[in-house]
Amino acid sequence: MCGLSAIAGCDLAPLQAMIACQQHRGPDVSGSFADRAAGVALGHNRLSILDLSAAGRQPMRDAGGRYRLILNGEIYNYRELRAELRGDWDFRSRSDAEVLLAAWARWGEGCLERLLGMFAFVLWDARERTLYAVRDRFGVKPLYLHRRGDGGLLLASEIRALHAAGVPRQVDEAAWARYLARGVHDQGTATFWRGVERLAAGHRLRWRDGRCDVRRWYDLPSRVGPQLDPRPDREVEEEYRALLEESVALRFRSDVPVGINLSGGLDSSLLLALVQRVRGAQSDARVFTFTCGDERYDELPWVERMLARTRHPLTVCRLEPAAVPALAASVMAHQDEPFGGLPTLAYARLFERARRDGVIVLLDGQGMDEQLAGYDYYRTAPDGAAAPAVQGSRDPLLRPECLAAGFRALAEDPPPAAGGAFGDPLRDLQLRDLTLTKLPRALRFNDRVSMRASCELREPFLDHRLVELALRQPARRKIDRGQGKILARRIARTLMPGELIEAPKRPLQTPQREWLRGPLRGWATDLVESALQAYGGSWLEAGAVRRELDRFLAGEGDNSFYVWQWMSLGLCAGRRGEARPAAGVAAREGAGL
């Protein structure tokens, strides 16, 4: 897991500032390369995971000097690819980066289909004078870009590195309007910053002579196809289980310690059972979980029951209210965009502890809910209604009436999920969550908080072969008698105790509502006031916001999401030390956050 920086077709001087800005993503060593005649430079921050020697350092070059590569992420099947490429390449390292370089030299862009992993990479082809940037199938690893009017291009793993390179800090008002009015976090290629795009998941960018070409290299609907899987249940279960075991085994490939992040739900239980299956009953990988000291939300009893018959040592990471304000400011500085509230902060605390304990790689269970219809609304809203930002709330999640009318008008409807690619309401809803809503925002939150602590997070359930197989299944293999993830439950019954399989889904993980009304009341109020000082009258209707905040603090409603939205705006405003925007929504030149 690393940090990438690249410049093409413009001044190369900012490269070192970009590298320095992303040191947390790769604290072990940094490196750079410049082809000044071509106007191209690459920078790399390395978090050493595979081949810890100097041979694994980047930017990496081929023997002839045609290619230079920087990679963020992991190619899990690098050993198999290396064996296939051995006759064409004299390998000098044991790293997956060199395998990727050799694969590109042999197959070009065609190598992408052969990769199992999570990755973003940038490759410079000196012979063709062409720069390539590629992002993995589901966008587990990030890549942002800024296109200059003169044809120049800047690329980085985090938005903050582009700002360090001189990209103006100008907020995108429409992005903030969609977030505040509709709850949209990640918005396709758009970000919360003008002039900053994200390279979409499953896409590659090619830059040459100041011209950019972006195309999709992975398309989930076409890979899945329109037909449902007609095979018998047992055959599908055997294939899915075999893929689960292989996926977990591949993600233990590491030259540094690997741990496991567990909550108390089915997905974590299944992950632990699979670890036991592929690593053996003697497996003693460290397990980490977080708590907040509130039995209504903490999942520690379930985690302890999961571990009772294993040798895995457990580390409990406690989040206390007193730690939240400073932690929130730090996490916002690394996210550069609104994040998911106290659950994200608790997760950040977990990674801090893992790193301090010398566990550099962690596995978790992200992705099972989306591929096997685990969320409640898959059963209650199969027509594709908007996915809630918070499950289990009866109170309206948003307060668009608290926004200035002109600003609210900027929150145009987001695009539909893949245009109804399957013509099947359930699968189209799953596809939307995998590509536009749930998964993209969760992956962003998790990447930033893990890399903030210089830890690598691996997602075994997001192996694309698993996702494709799951989306081919009819609804009866996902939902039955009010329960989701039926296929996973059937497999789990062969691996673990029944009481863990039937554990209720607990979507609320932290006492955010209680803390904002209690020990964090003053902090919450101050942040909302900071947002009003910066944006009252132009974005926010101050009177309406204060009335809704007072109702919330008085105990009305069971949802704190809209309060967290305003607090997020206050966190950004306070961190950037911005001035008020010009009166009205006409402040189109942007206010620097």
Residues 246 and 202 in one domain: no
Alpha-carbon separation of residue 347 from 268, 315, 517 (angstroms): 15, 13, 22
Please give the C-alpha separations between residue 59 and each of 55, 365, 367, 437, 553, in angstroms, as whole numbers: 11, 32, 31, 33, 52
| Residues 489, 381 within the same domain | yes
Residue 541 lies inside a defined structural domain of this protein = no
Q: How far apart are CA 15 and CA 20, in angstroms?
A: 9
How many domains are there within the chain? 2
Distance CA 500, CA 262 (A): 13
- The span from the CA of 512 to the CA of 559, in Å, is 9
Among candidate residues 218, 235, 256, the one where a domain is terminated: 218
CB 30 within 8 A of CB 4: no
Whole-model pTM: value is 0.93
Q: How far apart, in whole angstroms, are the C-alpha atoms of residue 113 and residue 137?
A: 10
Domain that holds residue 331: 225-397+409-501
Q: 384 and 441, same structural domain?
A: yes
Alpha helices in 284-323 (DSSP H): 300-307
CA distances to 8, 31, 113 from 12, in Å: 8, 15, 32
Q: Judge contact between 68 and 48, C-beta under 8 A.
A: no
Q: Give the residue from 501, 527, 546 where a domain finishes.
A: 501
Question: Is 246 part of a structural domain of the chain?
Answer: yes
Cα dihedral: 371, 375, 380, 381 (round 10): -60
> Hey, CA dihedral for 374, 375, 378, 384, is it positive or negative?
negative
Q: Strand 456-458 vs strand 361-363: parallel, antiparallel, or unpaired?
A: parallel
Phi, psi of 258 (to 5 degrees): -115, 130
Contact 116, 77 (CB under 8 A): yes
CA-CA distance, 511 to 318, in Å (whole number)? 13
Residues 154 and 237 both lie in one domain:
no
Last residue of a domain, one of 469, 501, 533: 501
Taking the CA atoms of the chain, what radius of gyration do you get in angstroms? Answer: 24
Name the packing angle between helices 521-535 and 542-553 (round to 10°). 170
CATH at 31? 3.60.20.10
Q: Does 207 lie in the same domain as 312?
A: no
- What pLDDT tens digit does each residue of the chain (593 aa) get? 799 999 999 999 999 999 999 999 999 999 999 999 999 999 999 999 999 999 999 999 999 999 999 999 999 999 999 999 998 899 999 999 999 999 999 999 999 999 999 999 999 999 999 999 999 999 999 999 999 999 999 999 999 999 999 999 999 999 999 999 999 998 789 999 999 999 999 999 999 999 999 999 999 999 999 999 999 999 999 999 999 999 999 999 999 999 999 988 889 999 999 999 999 999 999 999 999 998 888 889 889 988 998 999 999 999 999 999 999 999 999 999 999 999 999 999 999 999 999 999 999 999 999 999 999 889 875 444 444 444 555 678 999 999 999 999 999 765 554 557 898 999 999 999 999 999 999 999 999 999 999 999 999 999 999 999 999 999 999 999 888 999 999 999 888 766 666 655 555 578 999 999 999 999 999 999 999 999 999 999 999 999 999 999 999 998 999 999 999 999 988 655 433 333 333 222 233 33
Do residue 178 and residue 289 come from a single domain? no
The verdict on 213 and 231 lying in the same domain is no
Q: Are residues 275 and 180 in the same domain?
A: no
Look at residues 136, 362, 406 and name the one whose alpha carbon lies nearest to residue 259.
362
pLDDT at 590: 30
Give me the DSSP letters along 459-512.
-GGG-HHHHHHHHTS-GGGT-BTTB--HHHHHHHHTTS-HHHHTPPP----S-H
Residues in the chain: 593
Quick check: is 480 in a domain?
A: yes
- Domain identity same for 230 and 378: yes
Q: Show Cβ contacts of residue 539 under 8 Å, excluding neighbours closer than 6 positions.
A: 173, 176, 177, 180, 403, 404, 407, 569, 581, 585
Q: At what angle do helices 561-576 and 521-535 cross, to 10 degrees?
A: 60
First to last CA, the chain: 28
Same domain, 256 and 123: no
In a domain, 587, yes or no: no
**Shared-domain flag, residues 277 and 194:** no
Residue 547 placed within a domain: no
Q: Is 294 in the same domain as 271?
A: yes
